[in-house]
């Protein structure tokens, strides 16, 4: 990917309401500085940042899509599903978020115990301190571990300790994608299969899961992502076409200079893919302009 590529639409970004480093208003201010016109706040399993982001978006003239990135599963395979244009107050969504919060909290305690058994004491407390008001996730553990000099960087931590199948990994029984998609749709949102190429599924599995996602009411798949090799974008686009899914685009921004790169730092959706943002009701893009205008 050329570093000069810039998008004015970014439908995947995190704030400190989950594991991002910027507060919701700082995130929106940064989006405005970067010329982003439509930004989706997609915190992990929480909508806690949306009210603040909405206010900031009004001040900066940025279109804010209220959204969430929900932890889900297809059988034993964990997945992320982005819900775009959700009503954060919808009862079913609130209940689902409550359950996910409990799963995350319990998982964090178990990760802490595993790390303690590996000789790394106080990691749970450290991750809680990193998380502030958020429920500690793996990125908070990672930050604490880096801060203590236990690992050099995120890549090392996930490959040595926290990644799937590593010694401090805790498998969680997340809701099945059918339930997650239904919950997003009941909340008025559009369900998007997040970063399909990052799961490292075989091509057959990925198609099967994307097909299942489409069948249960999923609408789109993330085709263009920051830092994604061109051949992966081509594969994601092929899956979108094969399964009749629209395409989404995003940075998965967490931090300046962090895991994923800058807001909007990616190229255009391939022209043959239908853009998911054109299907979002204008009312779900708050403040600012809608992408179609």
Contact residues toward ligand AMP (CB under 6 A) are: 19, 44, 137-139, 154-155, 158, 254, 259
CB of 283 to ligand AMP, least distance (A): 28
> Residue 210 in 3-state DSSP?
helix
Q: How far apart are CA 160 and CA 92, in angstroms?
A: 37
Name, in order, each residue with C-beta under 8 angstroms of 252's C-beta and a sequence gap of 6 or more: 12, 13, 14, 194, 195, 225, 226, 259, 260
The minimum distance between CB 69 and Mn ion, in angstroms, equals 5
Question: Which of 252, 265, 288, 291 forms a contact with Mn ion (CB under 5 A)?
Answer: 252
Q: Work out whether 138 is an interface residue with Mn ion (CB under 5 A).
A: no
Q: For ligand AMP, which is the closer residue by CB, 54 or 138?
A: 138
154's contact among Mn ion, ligand AMP, none, with CB below 5 to 8 A by partner kind, is ligand AMP
19 binds Mn ion (CB under 5 A): yes
The 3-state secondary structure of 123-185 reads HHHHHHHHHCCCCCCHHHHHHHHHHCCCCCCHHHHHHHHHCCCCCCCCCCCCCEHHHHHHHHH
Would you say 67 or 243 has its CB closer to ligand AMP? 67
Shortest approach of ligand AMP to residue 141 CB, angstroms?
8
In the complex, minimum distance from the CB of residue 221 to ligand AMP, in angstroms, rounded to a whole number? 17
- We find the least distance from the C-beta atom of residue 46 to Mn ion, in angstroms, to be 11
d(Cα 147, Cα 43) in Å, to the nearest integer?
A: 23
Which lies closer to ligand AMP via its Cβ, residue 217 or residue 258?
258
Is residue 224 a contact partner of residue 249, using CB atoms and an 8 Å limit? yes
Whether 264 and 10 have beta carbons less than 8 Å apart is answered as yes
Choosing among ligand AMP, Mn ion, none, which partner's interface includes residue 52 (Cβ < 5 to 8 Å by kind)?
none
- Alpha-carbon gap, residue 18 to 134, rounded angstroms: 5
The entry of ligand AMP, Mn ion, none that residue 138 binds, CB within 5 to 8 Å by partner kind: ligand AMP
Dihedral of the CA atoms 179, 181, 183, 187 (nearest 10)? -170
Contact residues: Mn ion, CB under 5 A: 19, 69, 80, 139, 194, 252
């Amino acid at each position: 990917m050329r570093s000069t590529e810039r998008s004015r639409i970014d439908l995947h970004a995190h704030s400190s309401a989950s594991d991002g480093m910027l507060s919701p208003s700082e995130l929106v201010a940064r989006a405005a500085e970067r010329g982003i016109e439509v930004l989706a706040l997609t915190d992990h399993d929480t909508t806690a940042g949306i009210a603040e982001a909405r206010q900031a978006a009004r001040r900066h003239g940025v279109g804010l899509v209220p959204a969430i990135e929900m932890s889900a599963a297809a059988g034993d395979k964990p997945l992320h599903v982005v819900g775009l244009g959700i009503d954060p107050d919808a009862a079913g969504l609130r209940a689902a978020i409550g359950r996910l919060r409990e799963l995350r909290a319990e998982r964090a305690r178990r990760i802490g115990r595993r790390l303690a058994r590996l000789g790394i004491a106080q990691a749970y407390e450290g991750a809680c301190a990193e998380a502030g008001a958020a429920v500690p996730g793996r990125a908070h553990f990672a930050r604490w571990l880096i801060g203590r000099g236990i690992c050099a960087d995120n890549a090392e931590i996930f490959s040595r300790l926290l990644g799937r199948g590593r010694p401090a990994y805790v498998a969680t029984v997340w809701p099945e994608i059918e339930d997650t998609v239904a919950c997003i749709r009941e909340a008025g949102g559009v369900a998007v299969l997040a970063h399909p190429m990052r799961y490292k599924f075989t091509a057959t599995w990925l198609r099967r899961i994307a097909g299942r996602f489409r069948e249960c009411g999923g609408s789109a798949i993330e085709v263009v992502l920051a830092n994604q090799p061109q051949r992966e974008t081509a594969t994601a686009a092929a899956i979108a076409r094969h399964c009749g899914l629209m395409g989404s685009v995003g940075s998965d921004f967490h931090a300046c200079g962090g895991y994923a790169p800058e807001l909007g730092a990616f190229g255009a959706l391939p022209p043959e893919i239908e853009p998911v943002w054109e299907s979002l009701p204008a009312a779900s893009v708050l403040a600012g302009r809608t992408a179609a205008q």
